Amino acid sequence: MPVADYDIYCRMLESARDGKFAYPALNVTSLTGVNAVLRGLAESGSDGIIQVSTGGAAFVSGQALKDMALGAAAIAEYVHKAAAYYDIYVALHTDHCQPHVLDTFVVPLIVKTERRRAAGLPNLFTGHMFDGSTLPLSENLDIAVPLLDRCHRNKLILEIEVGAVGGEEDDLTGEDNAAKLYSTPDDLLEAARRLSEIREARFLVAATFGNVHGVYKPGHVKLRPSVLKDGQKALESKFGKEGRFLLVFHGGSGSSLEEIHEAIDYGVVKMNIDTDMQYAFTRPIADHMFKNYDGVLKVDGEVGRKKAYDPRSYLVMAENAMTERVRQVVRQLRAEGTTLFRS
């Protein structure tokens, strides 16, 4: 049963916290991407997380439908089948569900899980993310708290965002207000107070410390991992050591190894990787097209070469490259050989 259930996922997160490593949370938009992630994790001996964003899920369902819940469910169903062949655990997450799509993305997926549970089947997803960062914190938490209650009753882990991540991802445009790019200790204390209303519920918090989606030239992004240290210190002072958050690093693509490790040392157990995966996937395809332009195109009345334009020829290259990038990320996050499978 390599798709992590609630109890296994809780063990995974605690293992990362105690072992000072983080799990890669890898966004996918195709079965080829899923296969690359599963293979890369297995070859690294690491458990991990497969994620589907709103835009990615809509893409998976096809241009005629653009149904986020359908696309996400399709990916999840395939992961449940394919992951059974690998000796690692993988959790399934949604990513960046903003308030205006909550009822068309995450809520229908929770309903599917409720129906599965009633039929004695495993949960479809392991966790969901609600991104209320576009709202004032009080409104963000007004939605997050009842959502956490519903997730807790169905053995799902909820991830929320406190602060805002800049840049762009899918159809999301990040915050331009520099102050919101850095979560304050007071923000985290208020989140802890409100979320604790749901007794014994498990959750993840994406606290922001200058994170920006996408990859930029050196010097553009001003990460301050010490923000996480300050927030955790405030939480521990108020609620004790158990009050420290399990943190998520958003906008992690392109970050320096030093920044990544510092963030992990302050409690990051999950790091989202999307942009780097997209580039790894596309780079060999571009190389193939440039080198074989007269094979993939019918130039000057010729017929091209079927082996060159057969999508399988270049998608294999994309899968291999993405697999290698997954292995690199696992090493960067200190997660090699940490799988709990059969432990």
Does residue 62 sit in helix, strand or coil? coil
Which residues does residue 127 pair with via DSSP β-bridges, in sequence order?
Answer: 93, 157
Catalytic residue from among 95, 131, 170, 276: 95
Max Cα-Cα span within the chain: 74
Question: Is-catalytic flag, 18?
Answer: no
DSSP string, 210-254: S-EES---TTS----THHHHHHHHHHHHHH-GGG---EEE-S-TT
Residues 6+ apart with CB under 8 A from 310: none
Q: Strand 212-213's sheet: what is its strand order?
A: 172-173, 166-169, 212-213
Residue 167 Cα distances to 196, 210, 215, angstroms: 31, 10, 9
Token couple for 211: 């994170």
Is 166 in contact with 120 (CB distance < 8 Å)? no
Q: With both helix axes pointing from N to C terminus, report the angle between 31-44 and 68-82 in degrees, rounded to the nearest 10.
A: 40
Token couple for 284: 């060999």
- Name the residues annotated as catalytic: 95
